[in-house]
Structure 1
Amino acid sequence: MAAVRPWNAFTAVEAEVRAVVTGPRWPELPEPARAHQIASRALVTADGDRWLFAAHARWHLHDPAGGRWHPAPPPRHLPARRVKHAAAALPADLVPRGPDFAAEPGSTQAFVGPDVPDRLCGHIRELLRANCGKSEPEYPLTAFGEIFAADVPSTVAAVWGTIMWCAYAPAFDGNERLLTAFGEFLRRPLPGDEWVRWLPAPPLADLVHLVAERQRAGHPRAALRLTALIADTAQFLLADARFRPRALALLTMTEPALQQPGLDDHLLDDQALRSAWLARCPPRLARALLCDTDPEAHLAHTVYDLLEALAHTPDPARAAAAHLADLSDSRGLLPGRLDHRLRRAYDDLHRAGLTSTSAAERTQPDGFPIRPPALGHATGTGPYAVLGESGDRGRVAAVLGAAYAVGLAWSRVSGARVPERGFAGAAALVRRLIHERDDEPPQNH
């Protein structure tokens, strides 16, 4: 007889809310009725923390100090009781719209450890071979000039920019074949070291600019060709869950212009074309666009992802705060964006003088002790070979990716510089991955 999972208040409420929000009546309910459905299923744990399963199919924690609701994974191991919360007091953006519960889950894993699929890499190489010989005067490099040499056509930049925009966390193995395909076009070595390339995440505006510039110059066919290259690249990226949510969003934004040539020819301004692309993205994919449409919300969701990735650790808030401590915050703006549990853990590190630094002295990230190799059992060679079970590797890659995504999100919000050799906590995790075999790419959750 199969074992019966113990009843859990968080799991039960989550199932109830999902059934209600995805049901046929939800779109017809007025806003106050929707808010009541969510507020009537609030949970409170013994420490007084109040939780709601709400917008974006994610849990939210009430901060008693400021009254804000922060996206935060719940402590599922703790008992909780159901209470009623005042529906009128809920912020409008906390109440699910419906399509947000159908978001593509994707994966937070970085591209360190699990390789990009061979077939995907082959498709990208074919795209480059077919388009790298385009005339530079016809396809001038008007974006990504910090990456590519000046005589590289924008067709190459369109493929690169699509890959980097779609990547949840663009941290790649130093020998990743997806990157080596671009080697001959690079202006200078990519940031990072021989183990990991810590790459910037471009804004959607950079991709839009490649297209809009050609339209302003009176070359609509070249603009359409660049749009097609962006869509073709995104189509191939669907094969990897680390790219899929944003790749889907990008396809919905670009395909109408390919199906109706001339649709965007009158949009000569970058901002106008960007707005047209964003307007075509369906609500169910809206969270994939937060990095461009709402950087503050995107930061909050990447912190949620980091906490989820660290859920197996003894104290996820403390472990997450150790990664947040790597972020540069000279103006002290980060704590006010954290929920009270994370804020307490972060403040402890601040009092110890361990915040706003790259704390290189840390020899092991919280939750992932670096164990010395045992004779005959270590994978990899050399002084940094470590023991590791295959089951751990996916977790490590997920934490690494989520931590790097948080750093990139914080950079967009604050303007803080992203270290060329990565943030200390994420860089430390690399040692659990680089000397072991490469795993299969992650699948959808």
Structure 2
Amino acid sequence: MRSWDAFSASEAEIRGMVVDPRWRGLPVPAQAQVIAARVLVTPDGDRWLFGAHARWYLHDPADGRWHPAPPPRSAKARQVSHQAAVLPARLIPRGPDFSAEPGSTQAFVGPDVPEELTEQVRVLLRASGRKSELDFPLTAFDEIFASDVPSTVAAIWGTVMWCSYAPAFDGNERLITIFGEYLRRPLPGDEWVRWLPQPSLLDLVALVAERARSGRARSALRLLALLADTAQILLADARFRPRALALLTMIEPALRAQGLDDPAARIDDEAVRQAWLSRCPPRFGRALLAETDPAENFRHSVYDLLEAVAYTPDPYAAAAGFLADLSDSKERLPRMLCHRLREAYRELDQAGLTRTSAAERTQPDGFQIPQTGEYVVPQEWTGSGSFPALPVPLPATVTGGHAVPGTSDEGGPDRASAAAVLGAAYATGLAWQRLTGARVPAKGFAGSQGLVQRLILERDDSHHP
């Protein structure tokens, strides 16, 4: 049996059991025993488990931890039994986590936001921009908007940014340019890409909670409705949908029962945030990891990155090339990675090729300057120049060249796949920032610039995810 058949068969079997309503009635030890009996082992000794959030986990033989990691596609695998008692509870699927919206890891560079979605947001924004800043003071996002901008505008912007998987936008993406007249200063990035910060849920809460504490119930309700209306519009794009669904489930109860969060608002914003999170169903757990578990959120972002570069000859080396951009003065990053990715990252570290973005080694226009000793993707892999060089350690030549899903006819990544890599790489950088406080470069991470060059050649078209 080919390795992907083995992994697919095991995944299908576990999915069938977990989605069965009887699964939720089993005690956790019994669930763990079922999962542990279906661990797969590859010839290199790696152990793989399909578990929580409908994802695969790789066992680290050094310390016994399990890391979220996509399984290999080119190795045989056999089923073995693992000791159930040592499986962490967080790995055991509960059931609702298997019904989560998968979404998309694409950035908003390349595939445009649907015109209908943008137009609906524009209409909502135009009406909101006419509100008085005295009735709707700017209690969050004041670094983005001018002081006379009402918080109704900030509520729409904050929802767009919070719901986005990776807020890296084409420099002339209309969904962003419609906010132009309200901005305090130019957005970070350059003429090609706007590398925008992703707000926390607390930023959205602050807009509403301040009005509630001030006794302005109607204003608080209006802001809640704007959050919901914007999220409802964003459902049309898979890059927004998972978090938009989560946001809607958190705030709709407060729309139906006016004043629901007033007692929490009188305590502080964090109390309101916790009230919102408590109303979110378990099926949205992964979409909210950035709010509930920043470390696990980073690990799952790395999983997305590995999936996005799966078409490469060595996905671990490719992913390590992007992780090399992260600032890691405390050397915390290697401990967060599975042993295969950790090994690839350490090879780059030993070659002095890590923390490139932290050193600001980019040209003024944001494009990458090749560094001494830096490897680049060879032309025969990219496919007729379809994908500019990336700072990942690959051999001088790559054999094979057959197309796989997500590649162009020439064997390089197709446009959608390149956008997915860019999105996953930027989301990983933002997850690292959320976890460690590390700075995100204003012009983006150095390793992403080759992807930008690939995508800007096909801007402003009608292709939508």
- TM-score band, normalised by shorter chain: over 0.9
Structure 1 equivalent of residue 464 of structure 2: 441
Structure 1 residues 265-276: aligned runs within 5 Å: 265-268=262-265, 269-276=268-275
Distance 1:333 1:430, change over 3 A: same
Structure 1 equivalent of residue 55 of structure 2: 58
SS in 2 for 1:267: helix
SS in 2 for 1:43: strand
Distance 1:390 1:257, change over 3 A: farther
| Cα offset, 1:244, TM superposition | 0.1
Q: Residue 440 of structure 1 aligns to which amino acid in structure 2? A: H
Structure 2 equivalent of residue 334 of structure 1: 333
Larger mean CA deviation between 21-30 and 205-214 belongs to: 21-30
1:364 and 1:6 map into 2 onto residues whose CA distance is 30
Query: Could you give the per-residue CA deviations for residues 25-50 of structure 1, whole angstroms, max 9, x where no partner exists?
Result: 10111111100110000011011000
SS in 1 for 2:264: coil
Distance 1:25 1:286, change over 3 A: same
Distance 1:64 1:5, change over 3 A: closer
2:356 and 2:412 map into 1 onto residues whose CA distance is 32
| 1:264 aligned residue (261, 265, 268) | 261
2:283 and 2:4 map into 1 onto residues whose CA distance is 30
Q: Residue 128 of structure 1 aligns to which amino acid in structure 2? A: L
**Aligned partners of 2:202 and 2:273 also within 8 Å:** yes
2:206 and 2:26 map into 1 onto residues whose CA distance is 41
**Aligned partners of 2:59 and 2:65 also within 8 Å:** yes
2:376 and 2:254 map into 1 onto residues whose CA distance is 46
Structure 1 equivalent of residue 323 of structure 2: 324
Structure 1 residues 234-313: aligned runs within 5 Å: 234-268=231-265, 269-313=268-312
Structure 1 equivalent of residue 190 of structure 2: 193
2:224 and 2:119 map into 1 onto residues whose CA distance is 21
Q: Residue 250 of structure 1 aligns to which amino acid in structure 2? A: L
| Cα offset, 1:231, TM superposition | 0.3
Q: Residue 352 of structure 1 aligns to which amino acid in structure 2? A: A
1:292 and 1:33 map into 2 onto residues whose CA distance is 30
2:412 and 2:312 map into 1 onto residues whose CA distance is 17
Structure 1 equivalent of residue 93 of structure 2: 96
1:439 and 1:348 map into 2 onto residues whose CA distance is 41
Query: Could you give the per-residue CA deviations for residues 128-153 of structure 1, whole angstroms, max 9, x where no partner exists?
Result: 11110111111001100110001100
**Aligned partners of 1:59 and 1:72 also within 8 Å:** yes
Q: 1:395 aligned to 2:417?
A: yes
Distance 1:439 1:353, change over 3 A: farther
Q: 1:420 aligned to 2:442?
A: yes
| 2:15 aligned residue (3, 13, 18) | 18
Query: Could you give the per-residue CA deviations for residues 110-139 of structure 1, whole angstroms, max 9, x where no partner exists?
Result: 000000000100010101111101111110
Q: Residue 272 of structure 2 aligns to which amino acid in structure 1? A: L
1:408 and 1:7 map into 2 onto residues whose CA distance is 31
Q: 1:344 aligned to 2:367?
A: no
Q: 1:130 aligned to 2:127?
A: yes
Structure 2 equivalent of residue 377 of structure 1: none
SS in 1 for 2:203: helix
**Aligned partners of 2:305 and 2:425 also within 8 Å:** yes
| Cα offset, 1:5, TM superposition | 9.5
**TM-score after normalising by structure 2:** 0.89
| Cα offset, 1:441, TM superposition | 2.0
1:182 and 1:277 map into 2 onto residues whose CA distance is 27
Larger mean CA deviation between 433-442 and 304-313 belongs to: 433-442
Q: Which runs of 5+ in 2 are unaligned?
A: 362-367, 387-408
**Aligned partners of 2:325 and 2:354 also within 8 Å:** yes
**Aligned partners of 2:42 and 2:76 also within 8 Å:** yes
Larger mean CA deviation between 5-14 and 282-291 belongs to: 5-14
Q: Which runs of 5+ in 1 are unaligned?
A: 374-386
2:411 and 2:335 map into 1 onto residues whose CA distance is 38
SS in 2 for 1:105: coil
**Aligned partners of 1:114 and 1:440 also within 8 Å:** yes
Structure 2 equivalent of residue 180 of structure 1: 177
Q: Once the two structures are aligned, what percentage of the paired residues are identical?
A: 67
Structure 2 equivalent of residue 361 of structure 1: 369
**Aligned partners of 2:48 and 2:56 also within 8 Å:** yes
SS in 2 for 1:65: coil
**Aligned partners of 1:365 and 1:428 also within 8 Å:** no
1:7 and 1:310 map into 2 onto residues whose CA distance is 17
Distance 1:49 1:232, change over 3 A: same
**TM-score after normalising by structure 1:** 0.92
2:110 and 2:8 map into 1 onto residues whose CA distance is 31
Aligned residues: 427
Runs of 4+ residues over 4 Å off in structure 1: 4-7, 363-368, 370-373, 387-391
| Cα offset, 1:364, TM superposition | 8.5
Structure 1 residues 144-155: aligned runs within 5 Å: 144-155=141-152
| 2:451 aligned residue (424, 429, 434) | 429
Distance 1:262 1:340, change over 3 A: same
SS in 1 for 2:169: strand
1:427 and 1:292 map into 2 onto residues whose CA distance is 28
1:120 and 1:68 map into 2 onto residues whose CA distance is 43
SS in 1 for 2:103: coil
SS in 1 for 2:16: helix
